[in-house]
Amino acid sequence: MSSRNEGCELDLGWISRVVVNQPAVLRRAEQIQSRRTVKKDWQAAWLLRAVTCIDLTTLSGDDTPSNVHRLCFKAKHPIRDDLLRSIKMDDSDILTGAVCVYPARVKDTVKALKDAGCHIPVASVATGFPAGQTPLKTRLEEVRTAVDDGASEIDIVINRTLALAGRWKELYEEIRMFREACGEAHMKTILGTGELGSLTNVYKASLVAMMAGSDFIKTSTGKESVNATYPVALVMVRAIRDFYWKTGIKVGFKPAGGIRSAKEALVWLSLIKEELGDDWLTPHLFRIGASTLLGDIERQIYHHVTGRYAAHHDLPMA
């Protein structure tokens, strides 16, 4: 991860001046999706880059130590060794960006990765994920517990009630408290954009989260009915760009929720490249939160290497 965002004073004047040109954002989102994608070796290289940016996630009620263990194995071996050998990438130490779990599974995840001799960061969701509707004291305690248990990245979720009511100062103060509770752990702030009502609110919430010291801003929990969309992403990455121009601080971006195909991963990478530039195309500043995307990427790499699509038994861990 890049150096921490210490945050800055809340600038309510900047927030009140925000206006988003929705038709222009929708047009640009359409254009990005309809681009011809990269092909052949370039595609394989981009897909491997996408793998290194995945926060490999399990956030289910039936998560157990054994499925977390399996996920950690996959994070350490995201693509079959022989496939990597075929494209001469077996020495490249391809790992996922992080493993992301509920707070109750952090200890299992830390242990599984440690036993595997692997330094992939453990990310924990917190603050009453996904709704963020538990008392502030409980939400803060949850952050501290996840950090004590070994999480080095905390995905906090904002209080949408404050954002919808335009109570930006209270939102800023809450996020600052979460930032403090994170200690040395990096903080990703989930906006729950599908529940923010407008693109203008998405931009404003992005600014507040960055001013309050978020190291990343993240679109969604994956549990809202609308999760990571390209128009929302454009608004968020432009807020990141404007914040960087004004403060010199680079904040990362994490789309999450419903990103399942290798093709979508390529669109996300090109959106970042075009809007923020190559500096952001690393796991330090870009992550994709996804539970099933890796399987499709591995299938595409298999197809690239062998010329045919994999049967289920070819990639049983996908």
Please give the positions annotated as active site. Answer: 155, 218, 254
Count helices and strands (H / E) in the chain: 13, 8
Q: How far apart, in whole angstroms, are the C-alpha atoms of residue 315 and residue 293?
A: 14
Shortest separation between residue 242's beta carbon and ligand G3H, angstroms: 25
Q: How far apart, in whole angstroms, are the C-alpha atoms of residue 142 and residue 166?
A: 26
**Closer residue to ligand G3H (CB): 53 or 211:** 53
**Which one of residues 113, 171, 182, 256 is an interface residue with ligand G3H (CB under 6 A)?**
256
Q: How far apart, in whole angstroms, are the C-alpha atoms of residue 95 and residue 72?
A: 10
Q: How far apart, in whole angstroms, are the C-alpha atoms of residue 139 and residue 134?
A: 6
**Closer residue to ligand G3H (CB): 62 or 91:** 62
The SS3 call for residue 218 is: strand
72 near ligand G3H, rule: CB under 6 A: no
99 near ligand G3H, rule: CB under 6 A: no
User: Which token pair is 117?
Assistant: 């001799």
Selected range binding ligand G3H among 103-111, 192-200, 273-281, 286-294, rule: CB under 6 A: 286-294
Pairing of strands 216-218, 186-190: parallel
Shortest separation between residue 218's beta carbon and ligand G3H, angstroms: 7
**Closer residue to ligand G3H (CB): 49 or 223:** 223
59 near ligand G3H, rule: CB under 6 A: yes
**Closer residue to ligand G3H (CB): 97 or 258:** 258
User: What letter does residue 284 receive in the DSSP assignment?
Assistant: T
Least Cα distance to 123 among 179, 51, 76, 182 occurs for: 182
- The DSSP secondary structure of 99-123, one letter per residue, reads EEE-GGGHHHHHHHHHHTT--PPEE
222 near ligand G3H, rule: CB under 6 A: yes
283 near ligand G3H, rule: CB under 6 A: no
**Which one of residues 44, 290, 297, 301 is an interface residue with ligand G3H (CB under 6 A)?**
290
Least Cα distance to 74 among 41, 50, 102, 96 occurs for: 96
258 near ligand G3H, rule: CB under 6 A: yes
51 near ligand G3H, rule: CB under 6 A: no
Shortest separation between residue 269's beta carbon and ligand G3H, angstroms: 17
User: Which token pair is 20?
Assistant: 């988003």
127 near ligand G3H, rule: CB under 6 A: no
Which residues would be at the binding site for ligand G3H (CB under 6 A)? Answer: 57, 59, 100, 221-222, 256-259, 289-292
